[in-house]
Amino acid sequence: MEKSKKEYKSYSLPVSPEFSEAFSHFYFAENNSSEALAKTLLPSFQTIMVFNFGAKTLFYSTKGTEIQIERCIVLGPIKSAIEYRMLPGAQILVVNFMLDAFYRFFGRALLTDSLPINPDAEMDDNCFTHLWQQLNVIQSVSGKVAHILDFSRPYLQAQNKTASLLSNFDYGAASVIKSIADQTGQSERTIQLMHKKYFGYTAKEVARYQRFMKAIGLIQEISVSKGKVDWFEVIEECGYYDQSQLIHDFKHYIHLSPKNYLKFQEDICQSAPG
């Protein structure tokens, strides 16, 4: 098992400033071992496009349905942890869309709660099949990323003004819906519907998620620096009412208790920049 871990590689690739409003980053992983490796992808509230090269990668829905990725699928917005298994020889390259960027490319946000779609179904032709074929013969990961960016350039549409305001709002500072409604002279209900339309989730959902991710970061920081996590410190720092609410969020997003998260965190992937 130790050898398998050494033969599994994963890392993030940054995006040039030109595309920083469309993609947060790219994520690459490959399994060079002789064993199938099981991983868990943390929720990101981003829509992702997964290109698969080599052997198959298997994703599992929250209901346990097995989804085989042979070439390319789209998932998201990722609101809860996703289990996946990379067969020996599998490689994946994950495109992480920023906020309303999927809407700006495809004219609508996904509202499928992580069920997969074939991106060719969203376009008038099978351009993503052709794109995968082009990517498959490019050897370097950076070369693949550059090719995806060149491909995407003509498709990106201008950002809606209200979506722009929502994209730049600090969800932890105040009520995003009320503030944007006051700024634009629209009703709060209209802004709520627009948020769901452009991003694929509500402001309330993302505020809860950000609190959870703050807890994840704090737990990792404490476990490294102190070795033992003071759960009441996490509750207070992250704004939870009590321990049961913290546990509820962990089970909601990653299907684990906070203590079990600490035990299994090395097998949990956060497809995040850096």
Return the CATH number at 94.
2.60.120.10
Co-location of 103 and 235 in the same domain: no
Sheet holding 66-69, edge to edge: 66-69, 57-60, 82-86, 37-41, 268-269
Co-location of 48 and 145 in the same domain: yes
Co-location of 144 and 59 in the same domain: yes
For the chain, what is the domain count? 3
**Which range marks the domain in which residue 224 is found?**
204-269
Co-location of 135 and 169 in the same domain: no
Phi-psi region of 158 (alpha: psi -120 to 50; beta: other; left: phi over 0): beta
In a domain, 11, yes or no: yes
Q: Which segments within 35-164 are labelled E, that is strand?
A: 37-41, 48-54, 57-60, 66-69, 72-75, 82-86, 90-97
DSSP string of 182-209, one letter each residue: HHHT--HHHHHHHHHHHHSS-HHHHHHH
Identify residue 60 by its one-letter amino acid code. Y
The residue to which tokens 């609410």 are assigned: 245
In a domain, 124, yes or no: yes
Question: Which 3 state secondary structure label does DSSP give 150?
Answer: helix
In a domain, 87, yes or no: yes
Co-location of 90 and 132 in the same domain: yes
Question: Which 3 state secondary structure label does DSSP give 174?
Answer: coil
- Asked if 153 and 160 touch (Cβ cutoff 8 Å), the reply is no
Cα angle vertex 18, ends 82, 200, to 5°?
Answer: 35
Co-location of 84 and 29 in the same domain: yes
Co-location of 182 and 211 in the same domain: no
Per-residue pLDDT of the chain (274 residues; tens, 9 = 90+): 444 456 888 889 999 888 888 999 999 999 999 999 888 888 888 888 899 998 888 888 766 678 888 788 888 788 888 888 999 999 999 999 988 888 888 876 655 555 566 665 555 556 788 888 999 999 999 999 999 999 888 888 888 888 888 887 766 655 888 888 988 889 989 988 888 888 888 888 888 888 998 998 888 888 777 778 888 889 999 989 999 999 999 988 888 888 888 776 655 555 555 4
In a domain, 66, yes or no: yes
- What pLDDT score was predicted for residue 249? 93
Q: How many CB atoms lie within 10 A of CB 83?
A: 17
- Asked if 92 and 29 touch (Cβ cutoff 8 Å), the reply is yes
pTM to 2 decimals?
0.78
Pairing of strands 48-54, 82-86: unpaired
Element (H, E) at 165: helix 161-167
In a domain, 274, yes or no: no
DSSP string of 79-92, one letter each residue: -S-EEEEEPTTEEE
Co-location of 12 and 147 in the same domain: yes
- What pLDDT score was predicted for residue 141? 94
CATH label of the domain that carries residue 234? 1.10.10
Co-location of 107 and 136 in the same domain: yes
Element (H, E) at 262: helix 258-264
Co-location of 146 and 208 in the same domain: no
Co-location of 197 and 208 in the same domain: no
Co-location of 243 and 146 in the same domain: no
